Amino acid sequence: MQHTPITPKFPHMLHGGDYNPEQWKAYPDILKQDIILMKKAEINCVSLGIFSWAEIEPEENQFSFDFLDKIINTLYENQIHTVLATPSGARPHWLAEKYPEVLRTDETGRKALFGQRENHCYTSPAYRERVRMIDTKLAERYASHPAVILWHISNEFCGECHCELCQNAFRQWLKEKYHTLDNLNHAWWSHFWSHTYTDWNQIHSPSPIGETSVHGLSVDWKRFVTYQSTDFMNAEIDAVKSVNPQIPVTTNFMGMYAYGLDYTAMSRKLDVISWDCYPEWHAFWGNHNVALVESLSHDMSRALKQRSFLLMECTPNTTNWRSISKLKKPGMHELSVVNAVAHGADSGMYFQIRQSRGSCEKFHSAVISHTGTEHTRTFREVSETGKLLRKIDSAVYGSSTPAKTAIIFDTENKWALDVIQGPRNIGLDYFGAIQKCYRYFWKNGINTDIVDETADFSKYELVIAPMLYMFRSGIQEKLRKFVENGGTLVTTVFSGIVNETDLCFLGEATEEKLSDVMGFWIEETDALYDDEHNLLNYQDLNYELSELCELLHPTTCKVLGTYQKDFYQGMPALTLNAFGRGLAYHIAASAEERFFDDFFSELVPQLNLERAMETNVPEGCSVTWREDAQGRKIIFLQNYAEESKEILLDKTYQDIVTDELCKDSLTVGGFSFRILRTLEETAHE
Ligand code: GLA
Ligand code: ZN
C-alpha cells in the first residue's frame, strides 16, 4: 500500500537538517560556501528559523525578514527546500524583560531567570500573544513560498511550568473534568491523611515541598501539562494554518523516552509525526541493543498516525551532551538512517548542517565541521547517505508498514508507575518489560506497532500489554472484544491494578480487572530484591523470574507454567485462558528475555503474522519490511555487528541499491545493510 506524500509540495525522501545561518550573518563567505557544500552532500531541504526569533523580531513589533528571505530564496535557487519553524522554542531577551510572566516557575515555586530554551510558560497570555503574532507574520510572508514544504512548530516541546497562571489553568481544567470537589476528592482519594479539598484554590501542582502523596493528583497534573502544551502548540498550528491550510505541520518529538508529554494526545492536530533520534552507538551494552531501543521509538512514531513519519534530527557523528560522546564508527551513520527508513521514515535529517562556532553546542557534530570543507569522514558518510536516499526514493517513499502485532506502551501508565509507592520502590522496569517482548518480533522481521491504550485494536491479531498497571477507562471493553473476536492477548505481571485516577479495583474476580478474559484472580504479589530470582518451569525448561511474582488463583484458565521456589512453589506463573474465539496469556512475574524468545517462537507460528522473509537472521542482525504500491515487500536487512554476516535467502530478491538479483544467500557487511525487494506481487489484506 502507498501512503499519500508526507510533504506534497516535494514528494521525496528528505535529506537535510537544522540550519542556523543567523549564527553566521557576519560571515558571508561561509554562507556562500554552505550552499556549495550542501549540494555536494545531496541535501534537499533544511529546517530554518527554529531559533531565529531575535533575528526576525529584534525589537517588539519590529520585524525584519530580509536575511531569512535571502536565505530561503538562495537555497531554493539551489533546489534546497525549507522546513520552516516557528521560533517559540527560545525567545529574545527583550520579550522576557518586558513580559516576565513568560519565564517558567519550577515545582518548588522558584522563578527562572532568562536563559536556556524550551522553558516558557505555556499558559502565559503574553507569550501566546507574541507567539501568535510572529507565527502569523511568518505565515503571511512564507506560507505560499514555493520553497516551504512543511511547518516545524516550535522545538521539542517538554517540561512543566508551575506559576500562578498555570495553577489557575490547572484548577479550571479540573473543574471541567470533575465538576464538583466531591467527585475530585473521591477520584483522588484525598480523604486520606486529611487531605480533603474544600476549595478549588487549595489545589496545587505536585511539589517536593508540597503534595506528592495524592497519586491521582500527580497523574492528573501530567495530563494537564500535556493538555496545556498541546493547547499552546495547537494555537501555533491555527496561526500558520489560518494563512495557508495547505502546508502540513509537524513538531519534533523525542521518541518514547521523553514521556513527560503524552504524544498520542498531542498528535491529533499534527499532519506529520517527526522525531529526533540520538542512539548511543558503540555503548558498552551493544549496538544491537541500542538499535532495538531506537526501533521501538520509530515504530511508535509510525503507529501514531499509522503511516510514514520523518526522522527530523539525528547527529551526523557525535553529540555533545552525553557523559561520553563516542564517534560513530564508519558505516554506522548510514545504517542508523536506514534503520529509521526501515521502520517507516521518509527522511534522513540532521542536527545540524553547520557546526556552531561558540556556545554550548560547538562540539556537537554537524554535516559541515569547523574545517568548513568536504574532506571529512562525516561529510563523506552524510553524502553517501544522501545518494542512497535518492537512489531508493522511488521505491521506498510513501510505502507502508503493515503490522498485525501491537505492543502497548502507554504514557499515562508510565506516569502512574513512576509515582506509586508499592511492592518495589527500587524500580519497576516498564521499558525493560516492553523491550523483552519486542525483541522477538524485531529480530524475526514481524512488523510491530507501538500503541497506547487509546488505540483501535481491531486490526491486530496479537496485542501484548506488558505491565499495564493502569487500565484507562474503555480499555477493558476494547481488549475483551479483541479477544472475543479471535485476537490473542498477552499480559504480564502487575497489570490491571488501578483505574485511570489510580484507584485500585475492588473485588476478587471482576470484569473491571478483565478477570473473565484472563481466567484468574490475584491474591497477593511478592517483591524480589535485585539479585533474587524465582524460576518459571515451562515445557520442562526453567526461566529466571525477577522483580515481582503474583500469586494467582485460576478460575477458568489453564496453567502452562509454575513457580519453582519459595512458599508459592507449584503455583501458576504462566496461564492461558480461552475466551470467545480468542486466547489470553498471562506471565505472572518479570521473566528473562530467553523466556520471551521461546514463548513467542511457540505462539507466533500459530498466528497469521507475516515475516519479512522466511529466514532467521544471525545474531546482531535485524530485518524489517515495508510494502509498496504494487504489494511488493521492501526488506531491510541490517547488521549491527562489526563483522559481516551471511544471510540465507528463501527466494530470489532484487537489491534495490545495486540492482542485482540475489538468491540462496547474501552477505551484509559489518555496520551495514542490504535493501531487497520481492520480485512478484504478494497479496496482503
Ligand atoms: C535536540 C534539539 C536540537 C539540538 C540537538 C542536539 O534534538 O532539538 O536543537 O540541540 O538536540 O543533539
Ligand atoms: Zn506558567
Return the domain boundaries, the chain. 14-179+227-396, 405-607, 621-682
- Identify the nearest ligand to the CA of 320 by its number: 1
For atom 5 of ligand 1, the residue with the nearest CA is 351
Give the catalytic positions in this structure.
156, 313
| Percent of the chain whose predicted confidence (pLDDT) is above 90 | 98
For atom 3 of ligand 1, the residue with the nearest CA is 351
- For 539, the 3-state DSSP assignment is coil
Q: Which three cell numbers stand for residue 593?
A: 528475555
Query: Does the pLDDT value for residue 402 go beyond 90?
Result: yes
- Identify the nearest ligand to the CA of 169 by its number: 2
Query: Does the pLDDT value for residue 276 go beyond 60?
Result: yes
Ligand 1 neighbours by CB, cut-off 6 Å: 155-156, 276, 278, 313, 315, 319, 351, 361, 364
Label each residue of 628-677 as H, E or C.
Answer: CCCCCEEEEEEECCCCCEEEECCCCEEECCCCCEECCEEEECCCEEEEEE
Query: Does the pLDDT value for residue 495 go beyond 50?
Result: yes
Please give the model's pTM, rounded to 2 decimal places: 0.97
* Atom number, ligand 1, closest to the C-alpha of residue 278: 12
CB 128 within 8 A of CB 235: yes
What is the residue-averaged pLDDT of the chain?
Answer: 97
**Per-residue pLDDT tens over the stretch 289-303:** 999 999 999 999 999
- The mean per-residue pLDDT over the stretch 475-497 comes to 98
Looking at CATH, the fold of the domain delimited by 405-607 is given as Rossmann fold (3.40.50)
* 146 C-alpha to ligand 1 centroid (Å): 27
Q: Which CATH superfamily groups domain 621-682?
A: Golgi alpha-mannosidase II (2.60.40.1180)
CB 17 within 8 A of CB 82: no
- Identify the nearest ligand to the CA of 365 by its number: 1
Half-sphere exposure of 39 (CA within 13 A, CB side): 11
Mean pLDDT is lowest, of 64-73, 86-95, 256-265, 585-594, for: 256-265
Total count of residues recorded for the chain: 685
As residues whose CB is below 5 A from the ion ligand 2, the structure lists 121, 123, 161, 163, 165-166
**Per-residue pLDDT tens over the stretch 376-387:** 999 999 999 999
- Mutating to test ligand 1, I would choose from 250, 252, 313 the residue with most ligand atoms within 8 A of its C-beta, which is 313
* 122 C-alpha to ligand 2 centroid (Å): 6
Query: Does the pLDDT value for residue 348 go beyond 60?
Result: yes
For atom 7 of ligand 1, the residue with the nearest CA is 276
Domain 14-179+227-396 grouped into CATH 3.20.20.80: yes
* Atom number, ligand 1, closest to the C-alpha of residue 50: 9
* 572 C-alpha to ligand 2 centroid (Å): 50
CA dist 80 and 133 (Å) reads 27
* 290 C-alpha to ligand 1 centroid (Å): 19
- For 396, the 3-state DSSP assignment is helix
What does the pLDDT read at residue 681?
Answer: 58
- Mutating to test ligand 1, I would choose from 351, 356, 361 the residue with most ligand atoms within 8 A of its C-beta, which is 351
**Helices and strands (H and E) in the chain: how many:** 17, 27
